[in-house]
C-alpha cells in the first residue's frame, strides 16, 4: 500500500540525468569519533552541495546540526555501535523510525555486519525496521557487510546476505565492491532489477580506484555509490564529487593526466 510513497521518496536520491545515486554517508562519527573531514559541521557544509550530491546518511543529532542538508535526500541512520565496543559488529537500535519521520527523513538506513554471531540479531532487526518504516511510507537502505573470518566463498555469502535482506523487504542495498569489479554482475544478478544496489567507497584510497568503481557502476547497471571517507577526507571534496558525477553522466573513463593537473591546481588554491 505504501509502495508508491517509498518509490517517490527514493527518487529523491537519484540524479535525473544519469539515473544513479551519489549518496554521502556521514554517520562515521558515532562509530569512529571526530575523524578528519567531519570533525566540524562547518567543514562539511562548505562542500556539501545538492548540485552534486543526491543524498546524505546521518545520525539524528548530526542531521539536526547540519539542518538536514537542504536540497539533498535525507537518510536517518537507525542503529550503531562504538568501534571500542566489545561487540562492534552488533549494531544496536539507537533511534526510531518515528523520530526519523519527525526530522523530515526521506528514508532510513541500518547497517548489518554478518557473522555467525550476529546473523539472527541482524535478521530480527531488519525485519522490525522494514515493517515500521513501510508503515510510514519510508524506504529502507540496508548496509550489508560480510564479517566472516574467511575469504573463501565470500561472493556466495554476500549474495545470501543480500537475498535475506530482500526477503525481509528492504528497498535498497549498500555493499562493498567485490575484489574484482568484473565480479559486479554476479553480485547484482537477480537483485538490481528491482532493488537498487549502491557500492561503498570504503577507506580512503587512490582516487583512480574510486572513479573506476563509478565507471563499473555505469557499465554494469548498478544503482550508484554511497561513499564517505573517499570524499570528505580528500583535500578538495567538491572536485572529487564533480568527477564522480561526470562519470555517471557520461559513462566515459577519466583522463588521469587531466585529473592530475586539475588536482594540483585545486591543492594550490587550498594552499593559498
Domain 3-271 has CATH 3.20.20.70: yes
Q: For position 2, what pLDDT does the model report? A: 85
Q: For position 267, what pLDDT does the model report? A: 45
Sorted by where each begins, the domain ranges of the chain are 3-271
Interval 118-136: pLDDT, tens? 999 999 999 999 999 999 9
Cell readout for 222 is: 548498478
* Overall residue count recorded for the chain in this entry: 272
CB within 8 Å of 57: residues ≥ 6 apart: 23, 24, 25, 26, 27, 75, 77, 109, 141, 226
Show the low-confidence residues of the chain (pLDDT under 50): 256-264, 266-272
Interval 195-242: pLDDT, tens? 999 999 999 999 999 999 999 999 999 999 999 999 999 999 999 999
Q: Kindly list the distances between the CA atom of residue 267 and the CA atoms of 44, 198, 246, 253, 262, in Å, as whole numbers in the listed order.
A: 18, 29, 20, 23, 9
Q: For position 194, what pLDDT does the model report? A: 95
Amino acid at each position: 500500500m505504501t509502495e508508491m510513497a517509498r518509490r517517490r521518496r527514493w527518487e529523491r536520491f537519484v540524479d535525473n540525468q544519469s539515473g544513479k545515486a551519489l549518496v554521502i554517508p556521514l554517520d562515521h562519527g558515532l562509530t569512529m569519533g571526530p575523524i578528519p573531514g567531519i570533525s566540524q559541521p562547518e567543514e562539511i557544509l562548505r562542500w556539501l552541495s545538492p548540485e552534486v550530491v543526491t543524498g546524505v546518511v546521518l545520525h539524528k543529532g548530526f542531521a539536526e546540526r547540519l539542518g538536514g542538508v537542504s536540497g539533498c535526500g535525507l537518510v536517518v541512520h537507525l542503529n550503531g555501535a562504538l568501534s571500542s565496543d566489545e561487540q562492534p559488529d552488533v549494531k544496536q537500535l539507537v533511534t526510531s523510525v518515528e523520530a526519523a519521520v519527525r526530522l523530515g527523513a526521506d528514508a532510513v538506513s541500518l547497517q548489518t555486519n554478518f557473522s555467525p554471531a550476529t546473523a539472527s540479531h541482524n535478521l530480527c532487526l531488519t525485519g522490525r525496521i522494514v515493517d515500521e518504516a513501510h508503515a510510514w511510507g519510508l524506504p529502507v537502505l540496508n548496509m550489508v557487510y560480510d564479517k566472516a573470518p574467511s575469504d573463501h566463498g565470500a561472493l556466495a555469502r554476500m549474495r545470501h546476505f543480500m537475498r535475506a535482506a530482500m526477503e525481509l523487504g528492504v528497498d535498497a542495498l549498500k555493499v562493498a565492491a567485490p575484489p574484482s569489479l568484473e565480479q559486479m554482475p554476479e553480485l547484482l544478478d537477480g537483485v538490481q532489477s528491482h532493488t537498487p544496489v549502491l557500492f561503498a567507497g570504503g577507506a580512503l584510497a587512490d582516487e583512480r580506484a574510486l572513479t573506476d568503481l563509478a565507471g563499473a557502476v555505469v557499465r554494469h547497471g548498478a544503482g550508484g555509490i554511497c561513499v564517505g571517507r573517499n570524499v570528505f577526507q580528500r583535500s578538495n571534496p567538491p572536485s572529487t564529487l564533480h568527477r564522480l558525477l561526470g562519470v555517471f553522466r557520461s559513462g566515459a573513463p577519466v583522463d588521469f593526466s587531466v585529473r592530475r593537473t586539475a588536482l594540483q591546481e585545486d591543492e594550490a588554491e587550498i594552499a593559498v
